[in-house]
Structure 1
């Protein structure tokens, strides 16, 4: 990096400017990535954590004509749940009803999503039993609820056994409760979403299950794409991140193309004294890598600190996936953009360039 290192020292202002642009783009991408992960978690956390409690398949009813399989349209009768439990490969089946309701906390009513499970259901979080519920931590923040407090549905008071960070659905806090409490509290589940949650073994065949039970089985992870709010949010934020990464590649590519044109005489001198094209290419890529690493690293650091400070206010996830992965992708795309300038390095003619310089 004979020429590249000297360029960096000599033209500090120019490189500081492009480094600042890279840092800002990285900051935006990392912040959007962390926000997208946080919003996604708030939208599907109650479903995505079901495998931790033994749920390996979620069974939906066959959709009506013109509708898609998913949470919005699923209506699984209790008889269908019993029939699903008798299918090959299914070791246990239980029902889940999802309903929108309102809960009263010290006289203040708050909107919640109620996940109603059978008494003693294997799919329910620990602590869910008649008279006892598990609620999302979002309700704890909004209504100042703590473990051990009582909340009221209609005329039925239940005890909050625990607050869970993984109990939210479509950005609304979830209350896991039993069918006994739901009936006593007047929670209306008729006409709402109902599913069959399955515990299966290695012999389970989804195609055969669908044919014999008239239900559609998906893994909890695959079922997330059928939640309309999650799909729309994730698609929009992913598009924004992709566009920002493409902008980063274009900015870096344009900068190094112009910079290569400006230093054509220097490249010609180096070629004239015997420098190989491969050496000059490595020099240019090394210069671009240093710039991307410094600018991208600074943007990632600022975004990480900002995310840690903001995650108590907005849904934000700070992890290697939301910080280091975007940084690596931006560096790779930036280097691809810098490759545009290499054609001029490879084709520069020493005699012509030096003659033009005179």
Structure 2
């Protein structure tokens, strides 16, 4: 890479400009990916945290399963418990409502569960386990009195952060959930979902026999309408931004390669192999991309940590390193396409046209 490094040292302004553009594009991609991840986490973290091997929902016919429409009965729970290979069935009731303490009202997702659902699940009727975000928004702590749908509950504990459809989760007993469902117009609701654990279970046959749908945790996310529409739109924007990034970076490297046509022609006329020229040009492009993307990822990490205090922003390798790797791949692809027309040309013809 002797020529490439000399070129970088000679034309600093050109490469600083390209590097700055790459860094800014990386910041755009990284921030959008972080926002997408943060919004997704506030939609699905409670669903992914459910125990078991499958999440069972009530079938809604041709429209498929949906958390908002699912209603399961005690008979369906007993049928699943009798299914060969099933070792545990955890009923989970889900209702989105409001919690109030003093003059503060906050939207919550009430999860009715049995004591075996989680280590911090409430054991006694009339007690709640607030997620950290629910407790923070309500200004509540253990021992506080919280009112939900006109009924007063006592906060037994404050657990980890947990979200469902952009509302913080509050755990209550299954009996309290059923009372809440009856007071809001659903008196026959036993549970919204079952978290089923089993080994060597014929899941499809069991679901068909019980009139339910059994999906893995990831597949069950499709039953959240808000998740499908929101994340689908954001992912489409990320994909479009990657496409724009490929075009912009490819255009920069195309112009850059055209400016080096004379140098490449001289090297080919002197006997340089095509492989060495490709290695030299792609190595130069990789160095510029690595520096620009590294700066961009650093800015995303620094600014994302600040933004995370006010926005649902997820800072992780999935939202920083993965987009960075994709940007490098797209940049190298653009550089390779731009270099193809020059390296395939006859050296004497290219030298004559350049001089």
- Tell me if both proteins adopt one fold, taking TM over 0.5 as the criterion: yes
2:59 maps to 1:95: no
SS at match of 2:192: strand
* Counterpart check, 1:81 vs 2:77: yes
Aligned residue runs from structure 1 range 77-156, under 5 A: 77-118=73-114, 120=115, 122-130=116-124, 131-153=126-148, 154-156=150-152
Deviation readout 1:14-70 (Å, 9 max, x if unpaired): 11111111101111111111111111111011111113xxx22211122134x2212
Contact 2:92/2:174 (<8 A) preserved = no
On the 8 A contact 1:105/1:151 being kept in 2, the answer is yes
Change (3 A) 1:12 1:94: same
Q: Residues 107-256 of structure 1 correspond to what in structure 2 (within 5 A)?
A: 107-118=103-114, 120=115, 122-130=116-124, 131-153=126-148, 154-165=150-161, 167-182=162-177, 188=184, 190=186, 194-256=191-253
Tell me the SS of whatever aligns to 2:41: helix
Matched, 1:344 2:338: no
Q: Deviations over 1:196-220 (max 9, x none)?
A: 4243222211112123222211122
| Bigger Cα displacement from structure 2, 87-96 vs 285-294 | 87-96
Any runs of at least 4 consecutive aligned residues in structure 1 with deviations exceeding 6 A, and if so which?
A: none
Scaled by the length of structure 1, the TM-score of the pair is: 0.91
Q: Does 1:38 align with 2:38?
A: yes
| Structure 1 range deviating more: 78-87 or 343-352 | 343-352
In structure 2, C-alpha distance between the alignment counterparts of 1:203 and 1:149, rounded to whole Å: 45
Distance, in Å, in 1 between the alignment partners of 2:135 and 2:97 is 16
Q: Which is worse superposed, 275-284 or 178-187?
A: 178-187
3-state SS of 1:114 partner: strand
Gaps of 5+ in 1: none
Separation in 1, partners of 2:66, 2:185: 17
Q: Distance in 2 between matches of 1:290 and 1:343?
A: 19
Q: How far did residue 189 of structure 1 move?
A: 6.8
User: TM-score normalized by structure 2?
Assistant: 0.92
Counterpart residue number, 2:58: 61
Contact 2:120 2:159 in 1 (8 A): no
Change (3 A) 1:184 1:79: closer
- CA apart distance, 1:187: 5.3
Asked if 1:71 is matched to 2:67, the reply is yes
C-alpha displacement of 1:157: 2.5
- Give secondary structure in 2 for the equivalent of 1:94: strand
Pair 198,157 (structure 1): closer, same or farther in 2 beyond 3 Å: closer
Contact 2:70/2:193 (<8 A) preserved:
no
What is the aligned residue count? 351
Question: For residues 169 and 352 of structure 1, do their structure 2 counterparts lie closer, same or farther at Cα, with a shift above 3 Å needed?
Answer: same
User: Residue by residue, what CA displacement relative to the aligned partner does 1:222-269 show, whole Å, maximum 9, x if unpaired?
Assistant: 201221111112111111111222222222221121121122111111
- 1:16 corresponding residue in structure 2: 16
- Aligned residue among 320, 331, 334 for 1:323: 320
Paired residues of 2:122 and 2:156 also in contact (CA < 8 A): no
